[in-house]
Amino acid sequence: MHVQLAGGLARRGSEPLGDRCPIDVAMQAIGTRSAILVLREAYYGVTRFDEFAARTGLTEATTAGRLKALVEQGVLEKLPYQEPGQRKRYEYKLTASGDALMPVVFALAQWSNEHHVAAAPIELSHAGCGAPVTIKAECGEGHTVEMEQLTVSS
């Protein structure tokens, strides 16, 4: 089935998508404010419980629950580690699945930067060349794809 997006130029049938729609699945898995804030800190390099709690501003209970859920979903890994002469500790590290959520998180930031007055903007840049970075849709031929040129099939 194909759909041409934007303005209803072409449309799907009228069946609802149901709960296996990947957008719905993702929202049910990681679509809470606390999960996104925890991910934000993980991208910034945070790995320890206390730091997640302190930097997100979430309570310890919420932090604990969200970390556990993210581990169960395979977005983070909980790994024991022990520095010589120190007691055992745990760290939470991003998995490949967690890395793959980066465009979601920074696309949210980009939207607020450009369309929400309450936000204190952040800027992304490429460490290699210093050029500013945006999150966008691009095709395999290297074309930036705007919504009017986007086709969805399933």
Partner DNA sequence: CGGCATCCTGTATGATACTG
Partner DNA sequence: CAGTATCATACAGGATGCCG
Interface with DNA by CB under 7 A: which residues? 32-35, 48-51, 57-62, 64-68, 78, 89-92
We find the least distance from the C-beta atom of residue 11 to DNA, in angstroms, to be 15
Give the one entry of its own copies, DNA, none that residue 76 binds, where binding means its C-beta sits below a cut-off of 5 to 8 angstroms depending on kind: none
Q: Which is nearer to DNA, 57 or 139 (CB)?
A: 57
Give 4's contacts (C-beta < 8 A, 6+ positions apart): 10, 151
Rounded to whole angstroms, the Cα distance separating 96 from 21 reads 22
Give the one entry of its own copies, DNA, none that residue 135 binds, where binding means its C-beta sits below a cut-off of 5 to 8 angstroms depending on kind: its own copies
Q: Which is nearer to its own copies, 68 or 143 (CB)?
A: 143
DSSP, res 81: E
Sign of CA dihedral 42, 48, 53, 54: negative
Q: Which is nearer to its own copies, 13 or 80 (CB)?
A: 13
Residue whose C-alpha is closest to residue 109's, from 124, 131, 125: 124
Q: Which is nearer to its own copies, 79 or 100 (CB)?
A: 100
Beta bridge partners of 4: 151
Give the one entry of DNA, its own copies, none that residue 90 binds, where binding means its C-beta sits below a cut-off of 5 to 8 angstroms depending on kind: DNA
We find the least distance from the C-beta atom of residue 81 to its own copies, in angstroms, to be 13
We find the least distance from the C-beta atom of residue 120 to its own copies, in angstroms, to be 4
